[in-house]
Amino acid sequence: MKGAAYLGHGRLGTVAVDVAPPGPGELQIAVAYCGLCGTDLHIAHGDMDARVRTPLVFGHETSGTVAAVGAGVRDWAVGDPLTVMPLIWDGTCAACLAGHQHICQNLVFVGIDSPGGLQQRWNVPASIAVRLPAGLSLRTAALVEPVAVAVHDVRRSELQVGDRAVVVGGGPIGLLIAVVARDAGADVLVAEVDDTRRARIAGLGLRVIDPRADDLAGEVERWTDGAGADVVFEVSGAAAAVRSTTALAKVRGTIVVVAIHTAPRELDLQRVFWRELRLLGARVYHRGDFDRAVELLRRDRIPVDTLISAVVPLAETASAIEELSAGRAMKILVDVAGEARS
């Protein structure tokens, strides 16, 4: 079988993957689609060389069907559609014992710390498999993982019906947060610098502005009658955006840090003190977030066609990474099955 792998030193390639039968407690997945995300870009650019072992078949936004069932696995049969919640925790660290298994201190993130879904056959623990409902296409189901990220971010914010939320950064996760927040009953404003992304966001009926051309803080002040936003989601990863967040939140408002910042950032702590702001991190997801994501996709609450810019064959994974790195696409799916399906 074939896979797409990070080979080290910023190099990607298509590799042959040995297919072993699933072990006890495992499922073998015939992978259909795998989405590419910002973490995959970090891997491909060599930013995570200190963490990953090469060659690494990466990818964690997957959909597929059960190809084989390992010993001791119940409730799964060949042909069942599924996705994967790519987290394996130890269950013994302080975080796990406190009920925070999703941010286990020894977390294995599948597709980063172990082989991922950019391979035509993939063995995973049955415990991380998530069943998909009949009728949900596998193309759509490849979005379950990023939708679950947005669901977790919104839930973590404790956003309420009628709240006003600002999303700083309108990339794939920012767009999904805006849609999920709106579905939860919030009024949403998105700040995004890219013209094409702003047009897509506006086409969904969301309020969107260019923070380079418009006064974001002034717009939020007018929009909220001087109060400020109930929740601000920082999704851009930009230093200037981080500095802006404290000026956007209301008294006792909430700032949720979603983006991965690879360097320390400046923050107006005087404003945090003066307005008693709450600063939260939001990382990955719970199983319930995955269940909610599946339901939102099943009910057509997520703008799948707006989000997916292209579907490419496995052999074009490297060029897809280039497209995403250049900001020319929103979400690209890799058709992993390809020749195996034909």
Give the residue numbers marked as catalytic: 39, 42
Q: For the chain, give me the number of helices (H) and strands (E)?
A: 13, 18
The separation between CA 186 and the C-alpha centre of its own chain, rounded to angstroms, equals: 21
Taking the C-alpha atoms of residue 31 and residue 128, their distance in angstroms, rounded to an integer, is 15
Query: How many angstroms separate the CA atoms of 215 and 231, rounded?
Result: 18
Asked if 170 and 191 touch (Cβ cutoff 8 Å), the reply is: yes
Strands (E), 132-222: 164-168, 187-191, 207-209
Q: Which residues pair with 332 in a beta bridge?
A: 310
Helix axes 172-183, 195-203, angle to 10 degrees: 20
* Amino acid sitting at position 338: G
Calpha distance 247→208 (Å, rounded): 18
Strands (E), 227-330: 229-234, 249-257, 278-281, 308-313
- Which one-letter amino acid corresponds to residue 67? A
In Å, what is the CA distance from 282 to each residue of 52, 74, 148, 300?
A: 23, 33, 12, 25
